[in-house]
Structures are given as structure tokens and as C-alpha cells.
Amino acid sequence: MILAHPAIEKSIGNKIISNNFDAGANTELRHLDLLYPDFNIDIKAEQEALLNAETIVFQFPLFWYNMPAILKHWIDKVFEYGFAFGAESILNNKKVIVSFTIGSPVSMYPNEIIQKIVFPLQGLTNYCKLQYVGEIFCNDINGYSEEAKQNAIKVANTHSQKLLDLISSPS
Ligand SMILES: Cc1cc2nc3c(=O)[nH]c(=O)nc-3n(C[C@H](O)[C@H](O)[C@H](O)COP(=O)(O)O)c2cc1C
């Protein structure tokens, strides 16, 4: 799991989802903000982690209809020519799941918006000949009130279970 979250100590959703993921067997959680607080990505280490993975999960909170900046920067550095694309694609056929949390309600995020959000990661997946398994997202992840917080915990746990099921389902 490639996790991007700049303030995990304040997180509800991504904390639950990444903790549940990390508790599983044969998993590796790479929290980019903790690994690279100065954005100085260790490209070789990240490429090695990808080579060891069967499934790559991009996990993040939605920031302005997009992924957090560190995740975009990580992709720009790690998915380089000769590794992710070029004469041969070393990552060939690894599975990709895009998993993200959204602060706003579902009414603001119809499918056409969700598809625009995942389009760049789908494009990356296709271009590098990886296998796009699908996206999992959840809405209403905010702690604006105690009630909202309790709801967010519930929603994030459901999201988390869906993600674990998708990871373990045969392709
Ligand atoms: C910089 C920034 C931009 C955000 N942009 C959006 C947005 O475009 N749409 C939205 O619904 N929520 C947006 N949010 C809310 C986050 O998506 C929400 O706080 C996050 O998914 C909750 O996950 P967490 O509990 O793991 O922090 C934004 C939050 C921040 C800090």
C-alpha cells in the first residue's frame, strides 16, 4: 500500500484503512509522508517495493479532486522510463487498486466525477501495462461533529473491508 496523508495523526479514514491493511499477512505499508518528509524519494527502494508486490494499492484522502502532492511526485519519480515503461514493462500485469476517502457527501460525487478523479491513475496503469482492478472510495469522512466522526469511523471500516476483500479476490 502506497499511502499519502500529510497529517495521519488527525486522520479518521486513512488511519483506519491503512492500519487494517497493515495488520494483514504479506502486506507492506509505505507511508510516503513519513518516509520522505522532504519529498526526497529513494527511487530504487520504491521500485524494489513495487517489484515485490503482487497488488499495488494507492491510498489517499481526496485533495481538490486529486491525489495529495507527494503521491503525484512519487509517481513522477518512480515510474521512470526503463522501469515502468519502455522497451519492456517490468511491472507487467501487477494489479492496481485506487482507494481514497472523500470529505463531502455522495451527492457531490456522482460516478462521472469519480471517473475523472481516477482517470490519471487508470491512464498510468494502462500505459505501464499494469492491471487496473478498480477503485474503492467512501464519502462523508470528516470530523465536523462527534456524530459525523462516529459515522466516518463506520464508513471507513466498511471501506476497509471492501478493500481487503478486493485484494484477496482472485482476478
Ligand atoms: C487540502 C485539502 C483538500 C481537500 N479537497 C477535498 C475535495 O476536493 N473534495 C472533498 O470532498 N474533500 C476534500 N478534502 C477533505 C478530505 O478529502 C478529507 O478530509 C479526507 O478524505 C478525510 O480522510 P482522513 O480522515 O484520513 O483525513 C480536502 C482536504 C484537504 C486538507
Ranges 4-8, 43-47, 85-89, 109-113: which has the least confidence:
85-89
Asked if residues 83 and 47 have their Cβ atoms less than 8 Å apart, the reply is yes
CA-152 nearest atom, ligand 1? 25
Output the pTM of the full model.
0.98
Is the predicted pLDDT of residue 11 greater than 90, yes or no?
yes
Domain containing 140: what range?
A: 2-168
DSSP string of 84-106? TBSSS-TTTT-EEEEEEE-SS-G
**Count of domains for the chain:** 1
What pLDDT score does 125 carry? Answer: 96
- Residue 82 CA to ligand 1 center (angstroms) comes to 34
Is the predicted pLDDT of residue 170 greater than 80, yes or no?
no
**Closest C-alpha residue for ligand 1 atom 31:** 63
**Closest C-alpha residue for ligand 1 atom 2:** 63
| pLDDT tens string 138-167 | 999 999 999 999 999 999 999 999 999 999
3-state percent helix, strand, coil for the chain, nearest multiple of 5: 45, 20, 35
- Residue 158 CA to ligand 1 center (angstroms) comes to 18
- Split at pLDDT 50, 70, 90, the class of 92 is confident
Domain at 127, CATH number? 3.40.50.360
- Residue 71 CA to ligand 1 center (angstroms) comes to 15
